[in-house]
Amino acid sequence: MLGDRFILHTSSFILSLMRLDLFLKLSRLCPRRSLAQKLCDAGFVLLNGRPAKSAHLVKVGDEIAVRHRNNQTTARVMSVPTARSVSRADAKLLVEIVNETELAPDDWGLSQSGTDFNL
Protein backbone atom coordinates (compact mmCIF):
# COMPACT_ATOMS: atom_id res chain seq x y z
CA MET A 1 0.00 0.00 0.00
CA LEU A 2 1.33 3.42 -0.93
CA GLY A 3 -0.72 6.06 0.88
CA ASP A 4 -4.07 6.35 -0.88
CA ARG A 5 -3.41 3.99 -3.75
CA PHE A 6 -2.80 0.30 -4.08
CA ILE A 7 -0.91 -1.49 -6.81
CA LEU A 8 -1.44 -5.21 -7.23
CA HIS A 9 1.04 -7.11 -9.40
CA THR A 10 0.02 -10.31 -11.12
CA SER A 11 1.85 -12.36 -13.68
CA SER A 12 0.31 -10.60 -16.69
CA PHE A 13 -0.80 -7.11 -15.65
CA ILE A 14 -0.74 -4.41 -12.99
CA LEU A 15 -4.06 -3.52 -11.36
CA SER A 16 -4.07 -0.03 -9.89
CA LEU A 17 -6.62 0.89 -7.22
CA MET A 18 -7.36 4.27 -5.61
CA ARG A 19 -9.64 5.62 -2.89
CA LEU A 20 -12.97 6.89 -4.20
CA ASP A 21 -12.65 10.39 -2.71
CA LEU A 22 -9.21 10.91 -4.22
CA PHE A 23 -10.35 9.59 -7.60
CA LEU A 24 -13.35 11.95 -7.62
CA LYS A 25 -11.01 14.88 -7.01
CA LEU A 26 -8.42 13.84 -9.62
CA SER A 27 -11.04 13.12 -12.29
CA ARG A 28 -12.63 16.54 -11.62
CA LEU A 29 -16.03 14.97 -10.79
CA CYS A 30 -15.70 16.86 -7.46
CA PRO A 31 -13.68 20.05 -7.00
CA ARG A 32 -12.23 19.10 -3.59
CA ARG A 33 -11.48 15.86 -1.77
CA SER A 34 -13.25 17.09 1.36
CA LEU A 35 -16.42 17.70 -0.68
CA ALA A 36 -16.14 14.20 -2.18
CA GLN A 37 -15.94 12.78 1.36
CA LYS A 38 -19.04 14.75 2.44
CA LEU A 39 -21.00 13.60 -0.60
CA CYS A 40 -20.04 9.98 0.10
CA ASP A 41 -21.02 10.30 3.77
CA ALA A 42 -24.41 11.76 2.75
CA GLY A 43 -25.05 8.89 0.32
CA PHE A 44 -24.87 11.06 -2.81
CA VAL A 45 -22.16 8.92 -4.45
CA LEU A 46 -22.98 5.49 -5.85
CA LEU A 47 -20.33 3.01 -6.95
CA ASN A 48 -21.76 0.34 -9.25
CA GLY A 49 -25.27 1.22 -8.10
CA ARG A 50 -24.58 1.07 -4.35
CA PRO A 51 -23.83 3.87 -1.87
CA ALA A 52 -20.08 3.96 -1.28
CA LYS A 53 -17.86 5.27 1.49
CA SER A 54 -15.02 7.59 0.60
CA ALA A 55 -12.39 4.94 1.40
CA HIS A 56 -13.82 2.42 -1.07
CA LEU A 57 -11.33 1.41 -3.76
CA VAL A 58 -12.02 2.31 -7.39
CA LYS A 59 -10.86 0.17 -10.30
CA VAL A 60 -11.13 0.32 -14.09
CA GLY A 61 -14.65 -0.48 -15.29
CA ASP A 62 -16.45 0.78 -12.18
CA GLU A 63 -19.46 3.06 -12.68
CA ILE A 64 -19.70 6.12 -10.42
CA ALA A 65 -22.84 8.23 -10.01
CA VAL A 66 -22.38 11.58 -8.25
CA ARG A 67 -25.40 13.64 -7.24
CA HIS A 68 -24.73 17.36 -6.98
CA ARG A 69 -27.19 20.10 -6.09
CA ASN A 70 -29.21 20.10 -9.33
CA ASN A 71 -27.74 17.31 -11.45
CA GLN A 72 -26.50 13.75 -11.36
CA THR A 73 -23.48 12.63 -13.34
CA THR A 74 -22.78 8.99 -14.11
CA ALA A 75 -19.28 8.12 -15.29
CA ARG A 76 -17.36 4.96 -16.11
CA VAL A 77 -13.78 4.63 -14.86
CA MET A 78 -11.48 4.25 -17.87
CA SER A 79 -8.14 4.39 -16.03
CA VAL A 80 -6.84 4.87 -12.51
CA PRO A 81 -3.85 7.21 -12.13
CA THR A 82 -0.74 6.10 -10.29
CA ALA A 83 0.19 9.64 -9.22
CA ARG A 84 -1.53 11.95 -6.74
CA SER A 85 -1.75 14.77 -9.24
CA VAL A 86 -3.18 14.72 -12.75
CA SER A 87 -3.16 17.45 -15.38
CA ARG A 88 -6.46 18.89 -16.53
CA ALA A 89 -6.07 17.27 -19.94
CA ASP A 90 -5.28 13.86 -18.45
CA ALA A 91 -8.21 14.11 -16.02
CA LYS A 92 -10.60 13.89 -18.97
CA LEU A 93 -9.08 10.53 -19.90
CA LEU A 94 -9.80 9.00 -16.49
CA VAL A 95 -13.57 8.79 -16.95
CA GLU A 96 -16.16 8.46 -19.69
CA ILE A 97 -19.35 10.38 -18.94
CA VAL A 98 -22.21 7.93 -19.42
CA ASN A 99 -25.12 10.15 -18.41
CA GLU A 100 -25.80 13.63 -17.06
CA THR A 101 -29.28 14.28 -15.69
CA GLU A 102 -30.72 17.58 -14.54
CA LEU A 103 -32.74 17.09 -11.35
CA ALA A 104 -35.94 18.86 -10.41
CA PRO A 105 -35.82 20.71 -7.05
CA ASP A 106 -37.89 17.94 -5.43
CA ASP A 107 -35.27 15.34 -6.45
CA TRP A 108 -32.27 17.15 -5.03
CA GLY A 109 -32.26 14.98 -1.94
CA LEU A 110 -31.73 17.91 0.40
CA SER A 111 -33.42 18.09 3.76
CA GLN A 112 -35.99 20.74 4.60
CA SER A 113 -33.26 22.69 6.39
CA GLY A 114 -31.50 23.13 3.03
CA THR A 115 -28.33 21.15 3.72
CA ASP A 116 -25.65 22.60 1.48
CA PHE A 117 -22.21 21.21 0.77
CA ASN A 118 -20.99 24.38 -0.98
CA LEU A 119 -21.44 22.95 -4.45
In a domain, 51, yes or no: yes
Q: How many domains does the chain have?
A: 1
Domain residues for 68? Answer: 5-107
CATH value at residue 43? 3.10.290.10
Average pLDDT over residues 101-110: 69
In a domain, 96, yes or no: yes
Among residues 92, 93, 95, 59, which one has the least CA distance to residue 76? 95
Instruction: Give the span between the Cα atoms of 10 and 31, in whole angstroms.
Output: 34
Amino acid, res. 43: G
In a domain, 118, yes or no: no
Q: Per-residue pLDDT tens for 16-61?
A: 889 999 999 999 999 999 999 999 999 999 999 999 999 999 999 9
pTM for the structure as a whole: 0.77
| pLDDT reported for residue 11 | 44
In a domain, 48, yes or no: yes
For residues 22 and 8, the answer to whether their CB atoms sit within 8 Å is no
Predicted confidence (pLDDT) at residue 13 exceeds the cutoff of 80: no
Averaged pLDDT score across all residues of the chain: 83
